[in-house]
Amino acid sequence: MNHKQFRRRTGVYPETFAEMEAVLTLREEREEKSGRPAALSVAEQLLMTLEFWRESRTFAHRGDDWGVHELSLHRTVERVEAALIASAQFQMPKKRVLQEAQLVYSIVAMDASEISCERPKNNSAAVPAARKNGIPWNFNC
């Protein structure tokens, strides 16, 4: 798979993927293993997580594609997310930085003092004749 296809499928460049994989591999080496070994390698777990973020399909559908149960997939995604957040290498810019970069001022001056107020004229022809004589004009028999 070439550079553009990989970026389109996962949302990250292959170099970034390699950095993420290194962080996850380091985390795996530090943890004490107990129980059954993982069905997917670290690279597959990362790829599965990136595809989940990219496509936003349900865990059941994604689990069917990868051959794992949806709960295992959910735990894997949470573990990968926690490891990447803890590494602090893959953080988005803070809200303040984004807001400062997008500050655009526009000034609009409007002079409304010269405009006369337009109000409807009192039109006596609009009032029904019955109402002029004191009879309610919306009278229903």
The tens digit of pLDDT for each residue in 41-53 reads 888 989 888 888 8
pLDDT in tens, 12-39: 888 888 999 999 998 888 887 777 777 7
Are 3 and 14 within 8 A, CB to CB?
yes
Does 139 reside within a domain?
no
Does 80 reside within a domain?
yes
Does 131 reside within a domain?
no
- What's the pLDDT score for residue 134? 60
- What's the pLDDT score for residue 68? 87
Domain count, the chain: 1
* Strand, helix or coil for residue 82: helix
Does 141 reside within a domain?
no
Q: Considering Cα of 41, then 42, then 46, then 49, what sign does the dihedral take?
A: positive
Quote the mean pLDDT of the chain: 77
Q: Backbone phi, then psi, for 120, in 5-degree steps?
A: -65, 145
Does 56 reside within a domain?
yes
Say how far apart CA 12 and CA 97 lie, in whole Å. Answer: 22
Does 132 reside within a domain?
no
Range of the domain at 38: 3-95
